[in-house]
Amino acid sequence: EASTDDDNNLLGISWVDSGWVPSLNPGNVLDYFSERSNPFYDRTCNNEVVKMQRLTLEHLNQMVGVEYILLHAQEPILYIIRKQQRQSPTQVIPLADYYIIAGVVYQAPDLGTVISSRVLSAVHGIQSAFDESMSYCRYHPSKGYWWHFKDQEEREKAKPKSKKKEEPSSLFQRHRVDTLLLDLRSKFPPTFYQPKPGEKPIPVEVKKEPEPPAETVKQEEREPATKSSAPAPPSKPPPEKRARLQ
């Protein structure tokens, strides 16, 4: 567990020695990596034994244990160093890779760490999306669920409020009022009318129907009276019944 924690801590740090940066080359990059202040270098490796005995790096193939080799070089900017466990002259197990960019040393993450980091970032993004979406969710027993977004409030505020035109009356009310006005006009005809707006009103001439003379009215009243006072014609008696001859 301690080694795992150390590896995780090394993934988040870097190391550089500015005195070596101008003179870095494939011949001295391993010496640069083996500096005592480098936290990525293991002092118990075979490279340290070879260095103390003043042997060449070719003797590493004859040893067993942890060693560092130069895996790739792209002068003058990029160098890749591999940490590996040597079990025989022909068999090694890679342990970690380190890349040096412009003199700065970083540890390359392993596949498991990369996948774990990507999954953690994706889960965090999904969880944040769910949390934010839940903040826009609303519920009411009578309405149910609905979404209420902040930009929706801003759009509603920005939109000009259009007032709905309210009709002053319904069709039934207008029809009823027209009927009443016609009735009133027939009972009380206008005495003035205005041909055009702004002109002087003109009095309306009301034609009166000529009244019948009083004598004819009296005669009409008398005629039904005389007709009613005349005696009714005598009614004939019913025919007498005669006895039948047998």
Give the whole-angstrom CA distance, residue 176 versus residue 54: 120
Give the pair of three-digit tokens for residue 238. Answer: 């019913």
List of the chain residues with pLDDT < 70: 1-8, 152-156, 159-169, 206-246
Q: What is the pLDDT of residue 93?
A: 93
**In a domain? residue 201:** no
**In a domain? residue 87:** yes
Note whether 101 and 128 are same-domain residues: no
Q: What is the pLDDT of residue 105?
A: 95
Enter the pTM of the model. 0.49
Taking only the tens place, the pLDDT of each residue in 177-215 is 888 888 887 888 777 777 777 777 777 776 655 665 555
Q: How distant, in Å, are the alpha carbons of 124, 147, 197 from that of 161? A: 41, 22, 37
Largest CA distance in the chain: 186
Q: How distant, in Å, are the alpha carbons of 4, 8, 67, 113, 133 from that of 121? A: 21, 16, 34, 12, 18
H or E segment to which residue 189 belongs: none
Give the whole-angstrom CA distance, residue 19 versus residue 32: 10
Q: What is the pLDDT of residue 231?
A: 55
Give the pair of three-digit tokens for residue 235. Answer: 């009614």
**In a domain? residue 61:** yes
DSSP code at position 182: H
Please say whether the beta carbons of 98 and 76 come within 8 A. Answer: no
Instruction: Report the CATH number that the domain containing residue 77 is assigned in CATH.
Output: 3.10.450.580
Taking only the tens place, the pLDDT of each residue in 114-135 is 899 899 999 999 999 988 888 8
Note whether 14 and 100 are same-domain residues: yes
Q: Residue 20's domain spans which residues?
A: 10-108
Taking CB atoms within 8 Å and a gap of at least 24, the contacts of 184-187 are none
Q: What is the pLDDT of residue 3?
A: 40
Give the whole-angstrom CA distance, residue 182 versus residue 85: 114
**In a domain? residue 198:** no
**In a domain? residue 164:** no
Note whether 41 and 99 are same-domain residues: yes
**In a domain? residue 59:** yes
Give the whole-angstrom CA distance, residue 146 versus residue 244: 109
Note whether 14 and 95 are same-domain residues: yes
Please say whether the beta carbons of 84 and 95 come within 8 A. Answer: yes
Q: What is the pLDDT of residue 128?
A: 92
Note whether 67 and 24 are same-domain residues: yes
Q: What is the pLDDT of residue 241?
A: 58
Note whether 20 and 70 are same-domain residues: yes
Taking CB atoms within 8 Å and a gap of at least 24, the contacts of 37-43 are 38/105, 39/10, 39/13, 39/15, 40/10, 40/15, 40/98, 40/105, 40/107, 41/68, 42/66, 42/83
Question: In total, how many domains does the chain have?
Answer: 2
Note whether 22 and 79 are same-domain residues: yes
